[in-house]
Chain A
Amino acid sequence: MGGLEKKKYERGSATNYITRNKARKKLQLSLPDFRRLCILKGIYPHEPKHKKKVNKGSTAPRTFYLLKDIKFLLHEPIVNKFRDYKVFVRKLRKAYGKSEWNTVERLKDNKPAYKLDHIIKERYPTFIDALRDLDDALSMCFLFSTFPRTGKCHVQVIQLCRRLTVEFLNYIIASRSLRKVFLSIKGIYYEAEVLGQPIVWITPYAFSHNHPTDVDYRVMATFTEFYTTLLGFVNFRLYQTLNLHYPPKLEGPGDKDSKDQDEGAYAMDSESCLEKLSALSASLARVMVPVTEEEVEMDEFPADGENAEQEEGLRKEREAQEMHKKLFEGLKFFLNREVPREALAFIIRSFGGDVSWDKSVCIGATYSENEPSITHHIVDRPTQPNPVLGRYYVQPQWVFDSVNARLRLPVEEYFPGVLLPPHLSPFVTEKEGDYVPPEKQKLLALQRGETPGYVNESEDEDSEEDEEGESDDQEEEEEEEEGSEKEEEVKLKVMEEQRTQGKKVGVTMGTLKLEDKHRLEQEEANEAKRLAIMTMKKREKYLYDKIMFGKRRKVREANKLAQKRKAHDEAVKAEKKKNKKARRA
């Protein structure tokens, strides 16, 4: 009977978590300050495994933070800064109330400010960590840089965002690390590969924003505060890796300016320089001019069996990537005024192309429309009034599709006024059993190096076959035949063929029997499987059913898409026929 009574909720997971309000009280912060702190420090609530236990028996909905996190926040110097700021505001208000202008001035001189450097270092101990988390930072900065200079947030923040994003774009151009681009209805997605890390960001289309009222801009501004700091440091580091000047410096004509004003040569020192930089047409100056383009030669390892193939594959991949980087090398583009200049200039330049635009559109145009060496003129109008010979007039989608396809696509489908082929997302990698749109199959064939004409035909057949197969699938689904669907398909197809042959020629008993045997075996296996499934334990059965349900749903969705496509194609064909007939008549 001896010993201390064990009390509930005094050990275990109940002591590891703390509710938000308690945490706030412990930190002696107001809720907005607590939120700011959480945003800056990257502290987020945790969902405990046993919520009721952690909640001390109550089932009320609460958010829980890790107690460790909150203790960690206790030592944060920024918390003191928050308090200082609160005091500062109080003093300032008092001084204003008393009209003590000297005090006001003095207080304003000593306004408490904080820096986020240490937090960034703490949250991202290594540079790679920072790069991994750059997606949201970039998207947010790109959004803020498009805000109008009035109203929603401080002008300085907007300008800083603009500057940082422009710097980042310039880095991507200089390092040629853009990989994928995608025109979605939300905005333009980009994917770059920086130091082996894929970084995806989205930029809105260049329209003024219709600012929603149900959005808390303070929260966004706090995030942006953190993201700008992060992006600035990342930019610095990235520029350093490429031996570029960090406040970026323009190459070439910028040198002249530097003679005039030594300090002013840094691109950021004046508005016009920022504009020039944001035009993305000039390349950046390097700290040291690289002596030779040093190609990183991979050492040749003695090939041994399995690794040889792997290495071969890697090598090919690397070569393909190098080719991809030089996709637009030697091409000269001209952007008409109606196309999104910044996006296209960025993409073309990051694949080695030259780009220019009308002088009146933006600063930084390098050549005029009449330049005879222009190879591609990007137009987004139905017709071009007086075309110049010797250049392709293409719609902007050509650039995007070419980048995604990793090859210069034939321009015929992208002429102005032509009905464009669908624009596919490069972020989708179809797995086995997924629906692959026919355009994607065509594209894959093109990448494999097949001729497009042949591809077209085979493509159609393929799709038809696929659809047949999928319809078969559906039938099977109803029977709840799990697994080995494909074999079934094959078999059914063979049987069908036989049936048709039989009609033509006559039945040959031998082969039929052989097939029967095969089929019997199949059936036997299936039955064994079914029986085995019957014997499964309840829990496993549940899991199995769930997985199979998911699989079947996937197949169903793929079939639905395929059917929709088929219906659409047929409708289009019928339309064409009708038109033909109408023309004949």
Chain B
Amino acid sequence: MRILSSVPRKRVSFAQPRQLWRSRRYVSRRRILSLIRDWTGRVGKERRGLPAPLPGSGARNGGNMAGARGGRRAGMEAGARARTGKRPAEQDPELQEAGSSEEPSPFTRPDLSQSAADSESDSSDSEESVFSGLEDSGSDSSEDDASSIEDGKSRNIPKITQDKSQAGATLQNTKEASNQSQEPKKEDEYAEDSSDEEDIRNTVGNVPLEWYEDFPHIGYDLDGKRIYKPLRSRDELDRFLDKMDDPDYWRTVQDKMTGQDMKLTDEQVALVQRLQKGQFGDASYDPYEPALDFFSGSVMIHPVTNRPADKRSFIPSLIEKEKVSRMVHAIKMGWIQPRRPKDSIPQYYDLWAHEDHNAILGRHKMHVPAPKLALPGHAESYNPPPEYLLSEEERLAWEQQEPGERKLNFLPRQFQCLRAVPAYSRFIHERFERCLDLYLCPRQRKMRVNVDPEDLIPKLPKPRDLQPFPTTQSMVYRGHSDLVRCLSVSPNGHWLASGSDDHSVRLWDVYAGRCLKTIPVSGVVKSIAWNPNPAICLVAVAVGDSVLLLNPGLADQQVASSTDQLLSAFSPPEEPARQPVEWQEASGEEREQGLRLQIRHHKPVKQVAWHGRGDYLASVVAAAEHTQVLMHQVSRRRSQSPFRRSHGQVQCVAFHPSRPFLFVASQRSLRLYHLLRQELTKKLMPNCKWVSSLAIHPQGDNVICGSYDSKLIWFDLDLSTKPYKVLRHHKKALRAVAFHPKYPLFASGSDDGSVIVCHGMVYNDLLQNPLLVPVKVLKGHTMHRDLGVLDVSFHPTQPWLFSSGADGTLRLFT
């Protein structure tokens, strides 16, 4: 029956325009309920501390809506309060206020409209105010339009008033009109009417009334005529006067549907009061009537039905039997087990009452107990000494480290007092990691080396007991301007010959330290060797691609002259043999200098070495052929190349002191040739890279060689072709090694600028191994172009050591 008018501007056609009047009771009840809802909602709102709904268009809706929503709850509250009599009276002014304040609020130009209204009559005045308000709150329509609407409306108003008798709804005199309208009109309609039907004086249907708030009308009556809003011309004063005068003012409410005021009847007021108390609306209804059961609880002697008992009631159930038999079977099979008896043993008892100390399981042999966690140090304290706190850099370093690498797994911090200490955020993590360690971490027993480092140091005889050996630097021979590559001591130990890169050979007095003679030569002196025969005063010097034989003339006149005679005694043979070298005699100025013979090789000569008797001379030539080693006989001025094949580059050669052997050191090996038999006797493998120097023990059974990989290798010829001992004393490449002819000493000079003197005792007893003990590290030479000591040599009789270095000096250590 309700008609929805979706768009209020459109005329709505009514399907069944019927005049619906109904009994006064029903109407009033429905309406009152809605009203009650309405104003109790306001009360509730007020109670809840919300602001009272603002007057004006939006506010009115809000008030309605809120009232509809919160009305019920508020009503209950009001009922609980049971202040029914006063409540409505209190509410009234609010209602009125809301109504009254409607007037001024929406007006933008109240003065104009007011003034216009004043000029007209009372009735038009009210109309005017209403319409002007409408006009303003609506769209900005022009004055003319407004006036035309006004006219139309004002024309309508009388019509409605004429319809008063029919519709029963008056706009002007609301109170009386309402009273009149309550009267039922047609009894027959009432008969077919359902009691639920609304009082449809306003036929807008179930639409929010705020849709109409911008219009002068509030809806349409049954004839499709507009129902206009009542005039709201009364001001505060009028209202107050009403309040004072009218004894029924407190029971006057506004009907939302019609916009009219209506007075509640006594019945209605009573209903409101009942509802407020939470009682039933119907006064005659008794909620506490005694309850009557439909059926009695007592057993009757007669059955309710006459049906005979089922068969199943006296025949045992097959299903149950099946179930039981299944259970019995399950029990038999052990599928269902009886409830387990409660454990009689207490939770904790004396587990170790009978301790068996011998009951160590077999696995305990391999058992590795978990190490305990490390105990905290000072740094972990909440208030550590200041030195344990990390500085800014340390903290940064700590943060950049991997968590596994950190020395401390926390940042040391300092707190002023215990109160300030926070929880440690990684506590659970640490416990968890410990758990993981305990069951996931593979364990291994590691023997911790608990050695006193002093015990590791070998016990050597004291150097003091091994004296004499050179200990201190006692003389420095200065004079060379470039590095001194080689030196040689005269067999009697008085003189020293040295060859240098400054193209000179110098001869020194050992004891005085004076340079006796300087012999300029044509090139860099690679090697120098004093003839070991004390009866001959001759020095072999390797310069460029020739070997010079010098007679320095320092010894006795007799020795010097005999040497000269020896050299000059040579008479060239009739048919000169073909020789790999050229022998030249010096003459003139060179002879004045001391040069006697010059053996011209065609390749640069690296080394010269005298045989012990002083007649033979071996020279090493830098060539990649078999002619690397040449043997010269000075007395007969003969030379020959003993080898047919080369075995790598020859580094140096040496003669055996007593037997006819020649040692040839190539880069990787050391070969021992028998000169008479002309065969290879031994090949020693020093196992180093590369051999740099070579020295032979005066007894001839032991050989040392130095290598560029800073090893000194001692061979015992009787023992093996493998090294007897490898000494890694130097830090850099060895340049020279030397044996002392008398004392059990040997020395090695190295690029690290030091000379290490070792005691090397060789026993005659073949069963006893040589004793090698380093006794002294001699330092003195300064480093020059990454070179230190270039050559070392012992004094023939004294435990003295000569060394030449890259700093252009020779030094004597005694």
Known A110-B340, A425-B376; judge A420-B416 contact (CB<8 A). Answer: yes
Query: Cβ of B376 and Cβ of A136 under 8 Å apart?
Result: no
Check B449 for interface membership: any CB of A closer than 8 A.
yes
Q: Which of A125, A211, A232, A397 contacts B359 (CB 8 A)?
A: A125
Contacts of B742 in A (CB 8 A): none
A422 to B359, CA, bound (A): 48
B-binding segment of A21-29, A214-222, A259-267, A318-326 = A214-222
Check B432 for interface membership: any CB of A closer than 8 A.
yes
Interface string of B437-473 (1 = CB under 8 A from A): 0111111100001010110111110111000000000
Query: Cβ of A547 and Cβ of B453 under 8 Å apart?
Result: yes
Number of interface residues of B (CB under 8 A): 88
* Interface hub of A68, A185, A246, A425 (most chain B Cβ within 10 A): A185
Check A35 for interface membership: any CB of B closer than 8 A.
yes
Check A466 for interface membership: any CB of B closer than 8 A.
no
A233 to B457, CA, bound (A): 53
Check A210 for interface membership: any CB of B closer than 8 A.
yes
Known A121-B351, A139-B431; judge A46-B442 contact (CB<8 A). Answer: yes
Query: Cβ of B337 and Cβ of A380 under 8 Å apart?
Result: no
CB within 8 Å of B: which of A543-576?
Answer: 543-544, 547-548, 551, 561-562, 564-565, 568
Interface string of A184-228 (1 = CB under 8 A from B): 111101000000000010001101111110111001100100000
A117 to B377, CA, bound (A): 37
Q: Which of A44, A395, A427 contacts B439 (CB 8 A)?
A: A44
Check B107 for interface membership: any CB of A closer than 8 A.
no
Known A184-B381, A424-B381; judge A544-B336 contact (CB<8 A). Answer: no
Check A533 for interface membership: any CB of B closer than 8 A.
yes
Known A122-B361, A427-B376; judge A183-B350 contact (CB<8 A). Answer: no
Query: Cβ of B387 and Cβ of A561 under 8 Å apart?
Result: yes
A63 to B410, CA, bound (A): 30
Query: Cβ of B352 and Cβ of A126 under 8 Å apart?
Result: yes
Q: Which of B359, B438, B440, B456 contacts A540 (CB 8 A)?
A: B456
A568 to B370, CA, bound (A): 40
Query: Cβ of A548 and Cβ of B777 under 8 Å apart?
Result: no
Check A493 for interface membership: any CB of B closer than 8 A.
no
> In the complex, what's the smallest C-beta–C-beta distance from A107 to chain B, in angstroms?
10
Contacts of B441 in A (CB 8 A): 44-45
Query: Cβ of B456 and Cβ of A422 under 8 Å apart?
Result: no
Known A204-B423, A340-B418, A422-B384; judge A232-B431 contact (CB<8 A). Answer: no
Check A532 for interface membership: any CB of B closer than 8 A.
yes
Contacts of A564 in B (CB 8 A): 386-387, 391
Q: Which of B340, B421, B427, B435 contacts A183 (CB 8 A)?
A: B421
Query: Cβ of A547 and Cβ of B451 under 8 Å apart?
Result: yes
A469 to B372, CA, bound (A): 36
Known A143-B431, A422-B384; judge A185-B453 contact (CB<8 A). Answer: no
Query: Cβ of A535 and Cβ of B774 under 8 Å apart?
Result: yes
A187 to B727, CA, bound (A): 57
Known A130-B352, A425-B381; judge A395-B429 contact (CB<8 A). Answer: no
A312 to B459, CA, bound (A): 40
Query: Cβ of B418 and Cβ of A339 under 8 Å apart?
Result: yes
CB within 8 Å of B: which of A329-362?
Answer: 338-340
Query: Cβ of A127 and Cβ of B774 under 8 Å apart?
Result: no
Known A246-B348, A338-B419, A531-B774; judge A186-B456 contact (CB<8 A). Answer: no
Contacts of A208 in B (CB 8 A): 423
Query: Cβ of B377 and Cβ of A427 under 8 Å apart?
Result: yes
Contacts of A209 in B (CB 8 A): 423, 427-428
> In the complex, what's the smallest C-beta–C-beta distance from B204 to chain A, in angstroms?
58
Number of A-B pairs, beta carbon distance below 8 Å: 269
CB within 8 Å of B: which of A396-451?
Answer: 396-397, 419-420, 422-425, 427-428, 437-439
Query: Cβ of A127 and Cβ of B382 under 8 Å apart?
Result: no
> In the complex, what's the smallest C-beta–C-beta distance from B777 to chain A, in angstroms?
7
A420 to B386, CA, bound (A): 12
A219 to B432, CA, bound (A): 8
> In the complex, what's the smallest C-beta–C-beta distance from A122 to chain B, in angstroms?
7
A396 to B372, CA, bound (A): 29
Check A489 for interface membership: any CB of B closer than 8 A.
no
Query: Cβ of B424 and Cβ of A186 under 8 Å apart?
Result: yes
Check A455 for interface membership: any CB of B closer than 8 A.
no
Closest to A111 in B: B340
* Interface hub of B430, B431, B729 (most chain A Cβ within 10 A): B431
Query: Cβ of B438 and Cβ of A223 under 8 Å apart?
Result: yes
B contact face: mostly helix, strand, loop, or mixed: loop
A240 to B434, CA, bound (A): 31
A489 to B560, CA, bound (A): 60
Check B773 for interface membership: any CB of A closer than 8 A.
yes
> In the complex, what's the smallest C-beta–C-beta distance from A61 to chain B, in angstroms?
10
Query: Cβ of B387 and Cβ of A63 under 8 Å apart?
Result: no
Query: Cβ of A35 and Cβ of B355 under 8 Å apart?
Result: no
> In the complex, what's the smallest C-beta–C-beta distance from A335 to chain B, in angstroms?
12
Query: Cβ of B432 and Cβ of A216 under 8 Å apart?
Result: yes
Query: Cβ of A380 and Cβ of B438 under 8 Å apart?
Result: no
A204 to B425, CA, bound (A): 10
Check A38 for interface membership: any CB of B closer than 8 A.
yes
Closest to B433 in A: A215
> In the complex, what's the smallest C-beta–C-beta distance from B444 to chain A, in angstroms?
4
A204 to B426, CA, bound (A): 10
Check A72 for interface membership: any CB of B closer than 8 A.
yes
Query: Cβ of B451 and Cβ of A211 under 8 Å apart?
Result: no
Check B19 for interface membership: any CB of A closer than 8 A.
no
Closest to B725 in A: A535
Known A185-B382, A185-B421, A425-B380; judge A140-B431 contact (CB<8 A). Answer: yes
Closest to A45 in B: B442
A200 to B376, CA, bound (A): 11
Query: Cβ of A44 and Cβ of B370 under 8 Å apart?
Result: yes
> In the complex, what's the smallest C-beta–C-beta distance from A277 to chain B, in angstroms?
16
A538 to B380, CA, bound (A): 40
Query: Cβ of B417 and Cβ of A212 under 8 Å apart?
Result: no
Interface string of A89-120 (1 = CB under 8 A from B): 00000000000000000100110000001001
> In the complex, what's the smallest C-beta–C-beta distance from B186 to chain A, in angstroms?
66
> In the complex, what's the smallest C-beta–C-beta distance from A111 to chain B, in angstroms?
9
Query: Cβ of B382 and Cβ of A423 under 8 Å apart?
Result: yes
Check A39 for interface membership: any CB of B closer than 8 A.
yes
Check A235 for interface membership: any CB of B closer than 8 A.
yes
Check B155 for interface membership: any CB of A closer than 8 A.
no
Query: Cβ of B442 and Cβ of A66 under 8 Å apart?
Result: no
A223 to B359, CA, bound (A): 25
Query: Cβ of A233 and Cβ of B387 under 8 Å apart?
Result: no
Contacts of B774 in A (CB 8 A): 531, 534-535
Q: Which of A63, A219, A536, A565 contacts B435 (CB 8 A)?
A: A219
B-binding segment of A1-9, A504-512, A522-530 = A522-530
Query: Cβ of A47 and Cβ of B352 under 8 Å apart?
Result: no
Check A472 for interface membership: any CB of B closer than 8 A.
no
Query: Cβ of A422 and Cβ of B386 under 8 Å apart?
Result: yes
CB within 8 Å of A: which of B480-515?
Answer: none
Query: Cβ of A534 and Cβ of B729 under 8 Å apart?
Result: yes
Known A207-B422, A380-B417, A439-B385; judge A44-B373 contact (CB<8 A). Answer: no
Q: Which of A106, A127, A136, A424 contacts B434 (CB 8 A)?
A: A136
Check B363 for interface membership: any CB of A closer than 8 A.
yes
CB within 8 Å of B: which of A220-272?
Answer: 220, 223, 232-233, 235-237, 240, 246
9 residue pairs from A and B, CB less than 8 Å apart: A44-B438, A182-B376, A182-B380, A214-B429, A216-B432, A220-B432, A339-B419, A423-B382, A425-B376
Residue numbers of A with Cβ under 8 A of B are: 35, 38-39, 43-47, 49, 63-64, 66, 68-69, 72, 106, 109-110, 117, 120-122, 124-127, 130, 132-133, 135-136, 139-140, 143, 182-187, 189, 200, 204-205, 207-212, 214-216, 219-220, 223, 232-233, 235-237, 240, 246, 338-340, 380-381, 395-397, 419-420, 422-425, 427-428, 437-439, 482-483, 524, 527-536, 538, 540, 543-544, 547-548, 551, 561-562, 564-565, 568
Q: In the complex, given contacts A185-B380, A220-B431, what are 5 additional A-B residue pairs having Cβ atoms less than 8 angstroms apart?
A: A117-B351, A214-B429, A422-B383, A543-B449, A547-B449
